[in-house]
Amino acid sequence: MTIKLHNTATRQKDVFTPIDPKNVRMYVCGPTVYDRAHLGNARPVVVFDILYRLLRETYGADHVTYARNFTDVDDKINARAAETGREISEITEQTIGWFLEDMGALGALEPNVMPRATHYITQMIDMIEVLMAKGHAYEAEGHVLFSVDSWREDYGKLSGRSVDDMIAGARVEVAPYKKNPMDFVLWKPSTPDLPGWDSPWGRGRPGWHIECSAMSTELLGQSFDIHGGGNDLMFPHHENEIAQSRCANPDGNFAKFWIHNEMLQVEGKKMSKSLGNFFTVRDLLDQGYPGEVVRLVFLQTHYRKPMDWTDKKAKEAEATLRKWRALTEGVEPSATAAAAVLDALSDDLNTAGAITELHKMASEGDAAGLLAAANLLGLLTPELGAWAEGPNVDLSGFEAQLFAARQAAMESKDFSEVDRLKAAFTDAGLEVRMSKTGVELVPGAGFDMAKLDAL
């Protein structure tokens, strides 16, 4: 099977040939752990989970290593500790637990290795010392900075920018000790109230970019197959990773393939707190959106295109999954996923094309083939199926009844009937979701249809 992936470094779709088919290696930038993961944070997790599954299917599960880091030393974490009065370790431990739980709810497999930045400080210091010895870094006022001029010809190739253009339009930290405005921090001093480690340059902590370079090199080697993340990381984070890693290890090539996913929107708009459309994965799960539904919505859009999360898409995905689960109940999956599904995934992770093939199999009644292909995509698994075990009943009449009562109450300002119906529905084990455009009643685990007979 030939896998083709769009390589940001070459700006084209390239045939993926691993450096060592017995040891396929992928590194993906993970979260900074100070708060719940928002929906946009989940997109790269699902995207690279699909790639991980495809690589395992192609080369064997024992021959693929997937590393995704946790940044557990960062100024955002320090600020959260100062705001709340909590210990930094308590915040990071809790947040890592939240992240793994929420991503697991979306059907994401855990990577083989999940390094924490604080466990690799020695490797970071060692890499910085090498960069200084080779003339690629310098110390200034307690900071150690990477000298962009020392690698000027190659800096910016990933994102397609020249250093001069970057300087002209840069929004970078202005510091008098920088030799070039684009120079970036490898190590910075820490005050007594901040996390810090002893180093040749005094007590301090690492800059953000050096973390991933040190961890990926330690875990995967000086040359590995794939480096991934959201396209918002392409510059400066990934550009800086390349500069540090290639300069510290000139005999290695760092990452052979660079893969970047596009960003996420909500109802056609950029997700932001100011627009009131910002929510975490846990918010969605708590509102009753099953993780499997969120996953299917994600997979219906190609990873290199902006993904628009809408309530309409979620409802359609839920209906599709209910049909598929009913069709495959009690069925043993085929031994392998259909060739058409594998072909779609091998063509730059065309998950939308793969989902189209699943619809075809469902329409043809190929339950075994549908289940095998869906499982490859992380769908229709037993682990994600609890949400669909409730009764599949027609509640449209009750939904219309509550919506009509609400419309009447908007005119009369008397909401007593609305409150009565909502209380009755809740007592019957229904979750009541109301919006300006309609009402949705979702059966819960304790749903009792008999309690609705009196209505």
The residues near 390 (Cβ < 8 Å, ≥ 6 apart) are: 443, 444, 445, 447
Tokens of 259: 């893969």
Single out the residue of 185, 175, 197 nearest to residue 243, CA to CA. Answer: 185
How many Cβ atoms from other residues are within 10 Å of residue 386's Cβ? Answer: 12
327: number of Cβ within 10 Å? 16
Residue 359 marked as a ligand binder: no
Q: How far apart are CA 269 and CA 263, in angstroms?
A: 11
Element (H, E) at 254: strand 254-261
Confirm whether residue 29 is marked as ligand binding: yes
| SS3 call for 131 | helix
Give the pair of three-digit tokens for residue 201: 């340059």
Is 13 annotated in a binding site? The answer is: no
302 marked as part of a ligand binding site: no
Q: What DSSP state is assigned to residue 275?
A: G
Residues comprising the chain, all counted: 455
Residue 254 tokens, joined: 């760092």
Cβ neighbors of 117 (< 8 A, separation 6 or more) are 69, 70, 71, 72, 73, 206, 211, 215
Is position 238 annotated in a ligand binding site? Answer: no
CA dihedral 53, 54, 59, 62 (to 10 degrees): 0
Q: Is residue 317 within 8 Å of residue 351, measured between CB atoms?
A: no
> How far, in Å, are 103, 313, 404 from residue 400 at the CA level?
35, 21, 6
Binding residues for ATP, as ranges, are 273
Binding residues for Zn(2+), as ranges, are 29, 212, 237, 241
Binding residues, as ranges, are 29, 212, 237, 241, 273
